[in-house]
Structure 1
């Protein structure tokens, strides 16, 4: 009889997901979910006394709505009233066997609410919510601040989790990176009346594959109505020097993510590169930007801004002088 009762209880408890699995799926801690249940009544609709919590698809959909609202800065109590008043969504998601990326949510530290919401949405592979958060952040903060305060901390958290958990978090990193790149490039190429000034040339060093910061600067230049030419990742020296001569830029920004990809001699070559008719030759202001340069003094003749916002301000002053 006892075995039969335990089997019956197990069958009853098997409908839905336990709190830990739901927390992994949503990218929040189990403590947060239990707090929402205790304080605001956001709990499993079919829970019976003496049994473990099991969250149905409809219950999980309510929690997802709660996560979205709190990520947008809505106070938890107000968010709870809103989701309880609305009732469960008409098409709740099907529960998954477990969440991506292991047993813990992303640790993003002390960041803006938008960043926490972005990390949670990325963990649960919620593409529409990731896109919405990024779009709203760019509109509210501008691309460079959105990159620095919302996108970059979330990407770093994914990278740390990937490094510690192996391949389990690759899908989260890929999804988030794609959406970040899409948001930045969409902002960079939107139709804008640009000022009639020399363009800024943006390029990564020959061995550098990381270009999302360059995308953020390109979008920032568009916001300031400044023209640019994007060469992207791993630009060979000859191609870079040829592009400088062909475009006659007002400034050149060279990105290096790590000391291994910084090449001071190439920067000096860009500084010396000139164009135009003899007697009226021109040179570009060169910015050596990115963490790869932080261990060194800027190469002779180049500027070394420490932040993307500082680089953007210097680029604007340079090309509009």
Structure 2
């Protein structure tokens, strides 16, 4: 019996570049570039011209994709993939290779305008461009475990999101699917942090309210803040995008929060009158009325120093420190001192 008849057709004849590209989530032009630049190509060509990829060729490509998604430069990844270092065809997501110190190198993450960033940004960017959901999930989880939420947000998530956003803005309608998918996975990773830390929340401290101003749809920075508050054990209520003013004022009166965080991405959405109104909103019995502190978060609030009753943090780390102090002060004033982590 002919042994080849018992083997799958692709094992005998190989498959086309287009089919491999769809299977791996890599553009056909990327495969041709890897073949031309690094020798990561099919062992045989049909009629001497057309590429036909065998299972062995595809295994090398899978290792190349895994390594580049981990932030390894393409030339180095190609040498390792050809040499057969590491598992050739992983059947489950593999944890990315994370250096113990920031690694900044020139180059690109599949054409994204990164500049001088951590190597992990390039790996996450390559996975995003390939629409490689399992790798993005694995990388983001591993990075948060290794570096912590704040560092991962400031040095990996934000630069990668900005690079994808700039690529989208300069490429017409291209890359919008990359931006949406990456944003979803960043949001998922942030919520996992909050869910994992939720059981440690301090019930004896007044809640912190998080909301975008009316007309503002960017919620990821608030989601990062909510995750950071959960890690600290501080209770928060996330209201999300484009909260109507009357709804937010009613929530303040109902909950008596330690603080209210208002996010504005652009000056066109920053609602100064609403911020002032919330800072002036009082609750409680007559003679013991209380007010809250408003944090003006996001670049939309840039300008003169904030008015009394308002603070403007410079980033996630500073916002968490301010909110922790406000929450503990509010708990102490209520006669229930908050625990210290």
Measured against the shorter chain, the TM-score band is 0.7 to 0.9
Match of 2:27 in 1: 25
TM-score (norm 1): 0.78
- Cα distance change of structure 1 residues 33 and 194 upon mapping to structure 2, 3 Å threshold: farther
Stretch of structure 1 that moved more, 26-35 or 220-229: 26-35
Q: Which of 53, 57, 70 is the matching residue for 1:56?
A: 53
Determine if the alignment matches structure 1 residue 241 to structure 2 residue 249. Answer: yes
- Cα distance change of structure 1 residues 57 and 131 upon mapping to structure 2, 3 Å threshold: farther
Match of 1:148 in 2: 154
Structure 1 distance, partners of 2:154, 2:31, is 25
TM-fit CA distance, 1:29: 10
Match of 1:307 in 2: 315
- Cα distance change of structure 1 residues 90 and 315 upon mapping to structure 2, 3 Å threshold: closer
- Cα distance change of structure 1 residues 110 and 63 upon mapping to structure 2, 3 Å threshold: farther
Q: Which of 185, 191, 199 is the matching residue for 1:192?
A: 199
Over aligned residues, Cα RMSD in angstroms?
Answer: 3.4
3-state SS in 2 of match to 1:286: strand
Structure 1 unaligned spans of 5+:
1-11, 92-103
Higher relative contact order (CA 8 A, sep 6+): 1
- Cα distance change of structure 1 residues 108 and 23 upon mapping to structure 2, 3 Å threshold: farther
Structure 2 distance, partners of 1:314, 1:26, is 49
Structure 1 distance, partners of 2:148, 2:207, is 20
- Cα distance change of structure 1 residues 34 and 143 upon mapping to structure 2, 3 Å threshold: farther
Determine if the alignment matches structure 1 residue 182 to structure 2 residue 182. Answer: no
Match of 2:10 in 1: none
- Cα distance change of structure 1 residues 82 and 178 upon mapping to structure 2, 3 Å threshold: farther
3-state SS in 2 of match to 1:202: strand
Determine if the alignment matches structure 1 residue 292 to structure 2 residue 300. Answer: yes
Aligned pair count reads 292
Write the mapping of 1:40-51 to structure 2, written as runs, cut at 5 A.
42-46=40-44
Determine if the alignment matches structure 1 residue 165 to structure 2 residue 171. Answer: yes
- Cα distance change of structure 1 residues 241 and 213 upon mapping to structure 2, 3 Å threshold: same
TM-score (norm 2): 0.74
TM-fit CA distance, 1:120: 0.5
Determine if the alignment matches structure 1 residue 16 to structure 2 residue 17. Answer: yes
- Cα distance change of structure 1 residues 255 and 69 upon mapping to structure 2, 3 Å threshold: same
